[in-house]
Amino acid sequence: MKKNKIQLKKEALVKVRGLFNEADKQFSKDPKLSNKYVKLARQIAMKVNLRFPREIKRKFCKHCYFYLKPGKNCRVRVYKSRVSYYCENCKKFMRFGIK
């Protein structure tokens, strides 16, 4: 039973990474499609209780779940020991600590 859950999480992570790669490719053509890929990736991750890796967590807004592309639809600022992302869609901030 436990091996099956681990295997499901590994497969889900591969799918999620693939969806985020597609979202990155499609962003310049159709940002709405990128947002749809993020929504689908979140659904897959929630189904198997998967935590996103750090590099994927920073690619979408935690409040509105839009795909973020720095310089296009989000602002990135560094202040003291934090990186701050500002989503231009929902006008909210996300802060991440720097190690």
Residue 22 backbone phi and psi in degrees, to 5: -65, -40
Q: Where are the domains of the chain?
A: 2-97
pLDDT of res. 99: 79
**What averages of pLDDT result for each successive group of 10 residues across the chain (99 residues)?**
85 97 95 96 96 94 95 94 95 92
**What is the per-residue pLDDT for 1?**
54
If phi over 0 gives left and psi between -120 and 50 gives alpha, with beta otherwise, what is residue 85? beta
Q: Which CATH class is domain 2-97?
A: mainly alpha
Q: Look up the pTM and report it.
A: 0.89
- Spatial neighbors of 75 by CB under 8 A, at least 6 apart, are 85, 86, 88
